[in-house]
Structure 1
Amino acid sequence: MILRPCARFISTSTPSSSRYDAKVFREPITDREELKKPLAADDERNFLFIKALKSDETPTFYRNHVVDKLVRVCMTDGRKETSRKNVLSALEIIKRKQYQTWLNALEDQKSKIELSAFKIVEEGINNCKPLMKLQGVIRGGTKYDVPFPIEDDEAEFRAMKMMRDICRQKAKHGETFFKDALAAELMLASQNEGATIQAKQELHKTCEANRAYAHYRG
């Protein structure tokens, strides 16, 4: 018997149930500025339980939602620490390059140079988010690639996945290490350039070419 690897898909559906009883649990505060403010006397959170924070929702300054999600997307065979090391190394490369650019820049240009690697990653991933996706729909025994609008969370995932696959191809062919490819791609994407931006544009062109099948969405 031949065992075939099964495909893995991202779930975009809302969970039907939760371990937290809606009557006694409330959402936690994830914004640092909100945490500094005292709760009002009639606020329910004074006497009800608070849900546990998700790993990527912590308000600490050294964690970032986009970076944490990128770590998970870049993970292979459950080796999360290896993935985290690669992503954080890419952030360090970005930081060093930006700081060197800042040192060599003229005084009136220094204020325009972004030194936060987190902001560069956020901007790069945001620029790579696709607006549409292609999904197979079968009608009359024929499969059509139908363009569908895409939710923000899935768009973010697809942007990271496209970037990850491009960086893996470069590393596989020996052009560079994964961390260096990821750092370069993130910096280019933050300026609306690079292979991931081109992949997004190609996807949009294909969706536009298949817009005649849009009536098959229902």
Structure 2
Amino acid sequence: MKRLVLFLLVLTACKKDTVVQVEQPEILDVEKFTKVENPSILLSLKPTAAFDYVELRMSSGRGPEGNELYFVRASVGNITELEGTCLDMFNQTPVQEQGFAGDCTPICYFNYVIAAKGNSDVAIYNSLPALKSFLGEIDSESDAALTVIANGYEFDFNKKAVAGVRKVNDGYEVLCKKRVKSCNPVQYDQFWLKVSTDGIITIKQEILYSTLDACI
């Protein structure tokens, strides 16, 4: 009997030692985030070098007449401050054929950033490494928002649950969405992302946002 009791005590002790307390996942509180607004998405941009004007463009590349087909998704600064050579260079930049966050459903497109400074300094950032060199440390809400856009995420500016941002200790957290299926159904998921100060994106949470019985 003494041996049996001792054996049971040993088993009980071992079982207790292997119990690991599971940390409860953080609960998303949308009200703790600031809503990302479309007109001001680049307003707090803090790149590595000063600028007078910056545009985020979505482009389909060269059109049938040889000109670039693009539209300006967001901008910051005042283009009227560009003068002479700089304004000419800005308006006559080479047609871009590549960029970041590209897709071909239903048409092919990509994104890039163009920035102007002074009378003759125009620069184009059309890759993730180039954009990273432009942004440097992620130290503003706009830096974080542009980083997630460049990595293929989107905002629905009508809802803070998929267009939110907040400062945290070592970076920013962003609420956004992303298309994860393109056919039967078209599916978008909501993402809760962490963007570190060095631009690394971590997915904190991914849940279903919307579906549509269609194909694109």
Interval of TM-score (by shorter of Structure 1 and Structure 2): under 0.3
TM-score, reference length from structure 1: 0.23
Question: Structure 1 or 2: larger helix share?
Answer: 1
- Larger Rg belongs to: 2
Question: Structure 1 or 2: larger strand share?
Answer: 2
TM-score, reference length from structure 2: 0.23
